[in-house]
Amino acid sequence: MAMTDSYDLALSTNSDEAASNYRRGVDHMLAMWTGAEEALDAALLADPDFALARAARARHLAVRAQIADARTEIAAAEGLVARRGTERERSHVNVLSLALSGQSAKALDAALAHADLWPHDTLILSLPLGAFGLFAFSGMAHHDQARVDLCEHHASSFTDDDWWFLTNRGWSLAENGEVARGRAMLERSLEIRRESANGVHALAHAMYEGGAGDDAGALIADWLPDYDRSGILHGHIAWHGALVALERGDTSSALATYKGSVHPSVSKGMPINVVSDTASFLWRMQAYGHEVPAQSWREISDYAHRAFPRAGHNFVDPHMAMIEAATGDREGLTKRVEALEDLIAKDALSAGKVVPTIARAAQAFAEADYATCIRVLEPQAHEVVRIGGSGAQREIIEDTLLVAFMRDGQAEKARALLDRRLHRRPSPRDAMWLASLPVE
Q: Is the pLDDT of residue 45 over 70?
A: yes
SS3 assignment, position 10: strand
* Contact assessment for residue 261 and residue 300, using Cβ atoms and an 8 Å cutoff: no
Comparing CA positions, the residue from 172, 247, 234, 246 lying closest to residue 205 is 172
* Spatial separation of the C-alpha atoms in residues 4 and 26, rounded to whole Å: 13
* Contact assessment for residue 251 and residue 243, using Cβ atoms and an 8 Å cutoff: no
pLDDT tens across 98-141, in order? 999 999 999 999 999 999 999 999 999 999 999 999 999 999 99
Residue 355 lies in a domain: yes
β-strand partners of 3: 11
- Averaged pLDDT for residues 177-182: 97
Residue 67 lies in a domain: yes
User: What average pLDDT does the structure give for the chain?
Assistant: 96
Identify the pLDDT of residue 439: 78
User: In the 8-state DSSP scheme, what is residue 4?
Assistant: E
Identify the pLDDT of residue 1: 62
Among residues 108, 127, 146, the one where a domain terminates is 127
- Averaged pLDDT for residues 166-174: 98
- Averaged pLDDT for residues 66-81: 96
- Averaged pLDDT for residues 403-421: 97
SS3 assignment, position 294: helix
- Averaged pLDDT for residues 350-376: 98
Identify the pLDDT of residue 440: 64
Residue 9 lies in a domain: yes
Residue 188 lies in a domain: no
* Spatial separation of the C-alpha atoms in residues 33 and 25, rounded to whole Å: 9
* Contact assessment for residue 413 and residue 383, using Cβ atoms and an 8 Å cutoff: no
- Averaged pLDDT for residues 200-205: 98
pLDDT tens across 322-349, in order? 999 999 999 999 999 999 999 999 999 9
Residue 195 lies in a domain: no
Identify the pLDDT of residue 224: 98
Q: Is the pLDDT of residue 381 over 90?
A: yes
Residue 218 lies in a domain: no
pLDDT tens across 236-261, in order? 999 999 999 999 999 999 999 999 99
Q: Is the pLDDT of residue 413 over 90?
A: yes
Range of the domain at 296: 269-436
Total structural domains within the chain:
2
Among residues 80, 110, 127, the one where a domain terminates is 127
Residue 353 lies in a domain: yes
pTM of the full structure: 0.96
Residue 180 lies in a domain: no
Identify the pLDDT of residue 293: 87
Among residues 83, 98, 127, the one where a domain terminates is 127
Sign of CA dihedral 157, 160, 165, 170: positive
